[in-house]
Amino acid sequence: MSQIETLGAEQTHSQRESRLDVEKIRKEFPILRQRPHGKPLVYLDNAATTQKPQSVIDAVASYYSEANSNIHRGVHYLSEKATNIYESARKRAQRFVNAPDSREIIFVRGTTEAINLVCSSYGGTHIGEGDEVIISHMEHHSNIVPWQMLCQRTGAILRVIPINEEGELRMDEFAKLLGPRTKFVSVVHVSNSLGTINPVKQIVEMAHAQGVPVLVDGAQSTPHMKIDVQDLGCDFYTCSGHKVFGPTGIGFLYGKSEHLDVMPPYHGGGDMIKYVSFDKTVYNELPYKFEAGTPNISGVAGLAAAFDFIDDIGHAAIEAHELELLRYGAEKIGAIDGLRLIGTAQHKASVISFVMDDIHSHDIGTFVDHEGVAIRVGHHCTQPVMQHFGVPATSRASFAFYNTRSEIDTLINALHKVIDIFRG
Amino acid sequence: MTDLQELYQQVILDHNKSPRNFGALENAASAEGFNPLCGDSIKLYLVVNDGMVEDLRFEGSGCAISKASASIMTTLVKGKSVSEAQKMFDVFHNLVTEGADAGNDSVELGKMAVFEGVREFPARVKCASLAWHTLHNALLGKESVASTE
Ligand SMILES: Cc1ncc(COP(=O)(O)O)c(C=O)c1O
Instruction: Give A274-290 pLDDT, tens digit per residue.
Output: 888 888 889 999 999 99
CATH class of A3-46+315-423: alpha beta
CA–CA dist A244, A318 (Å, integer): 12
A326 Cβ partners below 8 Å, 6+ apart?
A195, A348, A349, A350, A351, A352, A399
CA–CA dist A180, A202 (Å, integer): 19
Closest residue in B to A422 (Cα–Cα): B13
Cβ of residue A182 lying under 6 Å from some atom of ligand 1: no
Cβ of residue A142 lying under 6 Å from some atom of ligand 1: yes
| B8 Cβ under 8 Å from any chain A Cβ | yes
Cβ count within 10 A of residue B4: 18
Closest residue in B to A379 (Cα–Cα): B38
Ligand 1 atom with the smallest distance to the CA of A113 is: 11
b/e per residue A306-323 (b: at least 16 CB within 10 A): bbebbeebeeebbbbbbb
Residue type, B5: Q
- Domain B3-142 fold: Sufe protein. Chain: A (3.90.1010)
| A340 Cβ under 8 Å from any chain B Cβ | no
CA–CA dist A159, A140 (Å, integer): 15
Across chain A, which has 424 residues, the per-10-residue mean pLDDT values are 40 55 97 97 98 98 97 89 97 98 98 98 98 98 98 98 98 98 98 98 98 98 98 98 98 98 94 88 93 97 98 97 98 97 98 95 94 94 92 95 98 96 87
Every domain of chain A and the residues it spans: 3-46+315-423, 57-311
> Closest partner residue to B13 among A360, A367, A422, by Cβ?
A422
Q: Please compute, for residue B56, the number of CA atoms within 13 A of its CA located in the half-sphere on the CB side.
A: 30
Residues 26-65 of B with CB under 8 A from A: 37-41, 61-65
Best residue among A49, A50, A112, A147 to mutate for probing ligand 1's pocket (most ligand atoms within 8 Å of CB) is A112
Cβ of residue A219 lying under 6 Å from some atom of ligand 1: yes
Closest residue in B to A377 (Cα–Cα): B38
- Beta strand pairing status for A236-240 and A251-255? antiparallel
- List Cα–Cα distances, A39 to A205, A369, A410, A414, in angstroms: 49, 10, 11, 12
CA–CA dist A307, A374 (Å, integer): 25
Residues of B with Cβ-Cβ distance to A368 under 8 angstroms: none
For the question of whether the overall pTM of this predicted structure is more than 0.80, the answer is: yes
- List Cα–Cα distances, A243 to A22, A93, A252, A365, A400, in angstroms: 19, 14, 12, 21, 10
pLDDT of residue A18: 58
ipTM of predicted complex? 0.86
Name the residue with the closest Cα to ligand 1, atom 16: A192
| B11 Cβ under 8 Å from any chain A Cβ | no
Q: Please, which contacts does A321-324 make with residues 24 or more away whose CB atoms are closer than 8 Å?
A: A321/A18, A321/A20, A321/A22, A321/A401, A322/A224, A322/A349, A322/A350, A322/A399, A322/A400, A322/A401, A323/A350, A324/A405
Which residues of A are identified as catalytic? 381
Instruction: Return phi, psi of residue A366, to 5°.
Output: -65, -40
CA–CA dist B67, B73 (Å, integer): 10
| B1 Cβ under 8 Å from any chain A Cβ | no
| Most B-contacting residue of A355, A360, A419 (CB-CB within 10 A), to test interface | A360
Question: Quick one: which of B89, B84, B85, B43 has its CA closest to B62?
Answer: B43
| B130 Cβ under 8 Å from any chain A Cβ | no
Q: Cis omega (within 30 of 0) on the bond before A295?
A: no
Give pLDDT tens digits for A359-410.
999 999 999 999 999 999 998 999 999 999 999 899 999 999 999 999 999 9
A198 Cβ partners below 8 Å, 6+ apart?
A136, A168, A169, A187, A188, A189, A190, A191
CA–CA dist B5, A397 (Å, integer): 24
Size of chain B, expressed as the number of residues it contains: 149
- Domain A57-311 fold: Aspartate Aminotransferase; domain 2 (3.40.640)
Say if CB A228 and CB A204 are below 8 A apart: no
Residues of A with Cβ-Cβ distance to B123 under 8 angstroms: 366
Judge: B38–A393 Cβ closer than 8 Å, yes or no: yes
| A61 Cβ under 8 Å from any chain B Cβ | no
> Closest partner residue to B37 among A360, A378, A421, by Cβ?
A378
CA–CA dist B66, B88 (Å, integer): 17
pLDDT of residue A157: 98
Q: Which helix (DSSP H) or strand (DSSP E) does residue A282 occupy?
A: strand A281-283
| Most A-contacting residue of B40, B130, B149 (CB-CB within 10 A), to test interface | B40
Judge: A421–B123 Cβ closer than 8 Å, yes or no: no
Per-residue pLDDT of chain B (149 residues; tens, 9 = 90+): 578 888 999 999 999 999 999 999 998 999 999 987 777 889 999 999 999 999 999 999 889 999 999 999 999 999 999 999 999 999 999 999 887 665 555 556 788 999 999 998 988 899 999 999 999 999 987 544 555 54
Rounded to a whole number of angstroms, the distance from the CA of B121 to the nearest CA of chain A is: 9
